[in-house]
Amino acid sequence: MGYRSEVVLAVSKDLMPHFLGVFAKSPDTRTMVFKDHDYMNENYDGKETFIVSWSDIKWYAGDPEVGAINHFIDKCDGDEIEGIEEPWEHFRFLRLGEDTEDMVEKGYMHASDICFHRAISF
């Protein structure tokens, strides 16, 4: 049981070295990203954009792996990435929780392709 989310993270080739740096501090995050994902593509747009997604994941900020990724996303959502102007243009992060209003959207890369869709199914 527990609260589950759907999560997608896309990182540009320019930002990728900074993302890989996260794993030096948190090797378990490397496993989460490269082995425990539901989908991964290292050439999402034909321009070496890395994209990874997790379905039905417990995305708790207190978990070290999730915390490491959230810290990276927060840095990218500001001006804190050395050598990258407007880092928010180099990544996309979406998290959709179980609750209807629980949605997180950060970064602008591929905003028209990587987005939320609402639908009714029956």
Q: What confidence tens digit (pLDDT) does each residue in 15-55 have?
A: 999 999 999 889 999 999 999 999 999 999 898 999 999 99
Rounded to an integer, the average pLDDT of 73-90 is 91
* More confident site: 42 or 118: 42
CA-CA distances (angstroms) from residue 26 to 45, 76, 97, 101? 28, 18, 24, 31
Please state the pTM of the whole predicted model.
0.93
- Can you give the residue ranges of every domain in the chain? 5-106
- Sequence-separated (6 or more) residues with CB below 8 Å from residue 29: 22, 23, 64, 65, 68, 69
Q: What confidence category does residue 80 fall into, taking pLDDT thresholds of 50, 70 and 90?
A: confident
Angle, alpha carbons 60-62-68 (nearest 5°) = 90
pLDDT of residue 117: 86
pLDDT of 119 strictly over 90: no
Q: Return the percent helix, strand and coil in the chain, to nearest 5.
A: 30, 25, 50
Residue 106 DSSP code = E
pLDDT of residue 78: 87
